[in-house]
Amino acid sequence: MSKNIVVIGAQWGDEGKGKVVDVITPHVDVVVRFSGGNNAGHTVVVGREKYVLHTIPSGILHNGRRCIIGCGVVIDPGSLIEEMESLVQRGVSLDGNLYISKNAHLIMPYHPALDRASEAKLGKRRIGTTGKGVGPAYVDKAARVGIRMADLLDERLFREKLEFNLAQKNRLLRDFYDAETFGVEAILNQYLRYAGWLAPYITDTALLLSKWIESGYSVLFEGAQATMLDIDHGTYPYITSSSTTAGGAVTGTGVPPTKIHGVLGVAKAYSTRVGGGPFPTEMTGKLAETIRARGKEY
């Protein structure tokens, strides 16, 4: 097996990437999530236990594996903390095993609100997003007004960025979408509580990865969504907001392409797709319903 390998979906998602990652993980030292947000879910069964992970790499279920949430991921801290607490309650150790990029961008409360309001406004032309604010968070990242994990550790800077963003977002929510607005203090207090939980895990993950790779550690890069949902190469505009191909493993972690030795595309015998957008090989009728039932595609 290649030393550092990227696992991506070769279709529209739900190909079984989590299972493949789980099989490969015992043979690597580090597992890295490099794109997307909590709009993706990887299901892994360990013994009789079923785990559904949305942000944390699947490798966390294997003792001794170091897991990284890279800078290409957008993070809903409330959702992440719930996931962390659930794992701890089930006996999974996070200390020394989980690292979060200081440069990863935050999903703020106004992002899901903008996501849902935008979808409602589009009507029949809606994209079919999960409504979790992932797209709007990437919009802010590209517009250079996003708030990052490192900002959680500086209350003054966090407040400054929050006030700037809310002035714009509240105007958009109120005047364009006729939706509810948000207050600074409520968000500030909530996110400072999150900071207390997450601070021990926030670090320079690009530097860590560089050191580990130079020391001979092997790395598995765990993709989210799939190739046909890629921001550049997917069925635009019915796509996700991040780079879901092997290139995303480079930009979403800070690891140079020369340090990646192989790419594994995961596909299943039949394709499925959720949300809007074209699906050229779509089946209908009794056979389609039979496959759907047997594959539990609901």
CATH number of the domain enclosing 257: 3.40.440.10
State pLDDT tens for residues 175-189: 999 999 999 999 999
Average pLDDT of span 267-295: 88
Do 242 and 128 belong to one domain?
Answer: no
Domain of 193, CATH number, reads 1.10.300.10
Q: Which are the catalytic amino acids? A: 14, 42
User: Does one domain contain both 99 and 175?
Assistant: no
Distance of CA 125 to the CA centre of its chain: 24
State the Cα–Cα distance between residues 107 and 76, nearest whole angstrom: 5
pLDDT tens figures, 34-44: 999 998 777 77
Domain termination residue (choose one: 171, 198, 225)? 198
Q: How many residues does the chain have?
A: 298
Q: At what angle do helices 77-89 and 184-198 cross, to 10 degrees?
A: 40
Taking residues 115-121, what's their average pLDDT? 88
Does 287 fall in a domain?
no
pLDDT computed for residue 115 by the predictor: 92
Tell which wins on pLDDT, 22 or 140: 140
Mean pLDDT of the chain: 92
Question: From CA 51, how far away is CA 58, in angstroms rounded?
Answer: 9
Average pLDDT (142-161) is 97
pLDDT number for residue 206: 98
261 and 207 in a single domain? The answer is yes
Strand partners, 202: 100
Written as six digits, the tokens of 293 are 């039932």
DSSP state of 4: S
Amino acid 207: pLDDT: 98
Q: Which residue is it, tokens 């319903």?
A: 289
**Domain extent at residue 133:** 105-198
Are 174 and 99 part of one and the same domain? no
Q: Which of 146, 179, 198 is the last residue of a domain?
A: 198
Q: Domain for residue 286, yes or no? A: no
> Are residues 81 and 209 part of one domain?
yes
The pLDDT value given to residue 2: 58
In this structure, the answer to whether residues 100 and 10 fall within a common structural domain is yes
User: 252 with 8: CB under 8 angstroms?
Assistant: no
Whole-prediction pTM: 0.92
Give the total number of structural domains in the chain.
Answer: 2
Which residues lie closer than 8 Å to 295 by C-beta, 6 or more apart? Answer: 270, 272
Any domain includes 115? yes
Q: Tell me what the mean pLDDT of segment 10-33 comes to.
A: 92
Could you tell me the pLDDT band of residue 171, with boundaries at 50, 70 and 90?
Answer: very high
Q: State whether 99 and 209 are in the same domain.
A: yes
Residues 16 and 97 in one domain: yes
Least confident of 81-90, 151-160, 216-225, 275-284: 275-284
Q: Give pLDDT tens digits for 93-113.
A: 999 999 999 999 999 999 999
The helix (H) or strand (E) run that includes residue 115 is helix 110-122
Q: State the average pLDDT over residues 49-78.
A: 93
Are residue 45 and residue 179 in the same domain, yes or no? no
Q: How confident is the model at residue 1 (pLDDT cuts 50, 70, 90)?
A: low
279 lies in some domain: no
d(CA 110, CA 170): 8
Cα-to-chain-centroid distance, residue 115: 16
pLDDT at 274: 81
Task: Tell me, yes or no, whether 191 and 113 share the same domain.
Answer: yes
Give me the percent of the chain exceeding a pLDDT of 90.
Answer: 73
Statement to judge: residues 189 and 209 lie in one domain: no
Q: Summarize pLDDT for 239-266 with one digit per residue, the tens.
A: 999 999 999 999 999 999 999 999 999 9
Residues 177, 3: Cα–Cα separation, whole Å: 49
Angstrom distance (rounded) from CA 158 to CA 175: 25
CA distance 38 to 81: 12
Is residue 116 included in any domain, yes or no?
yes
Is residue 92 located within the same domain as residue 132?
no
298 part of a folded domain? no
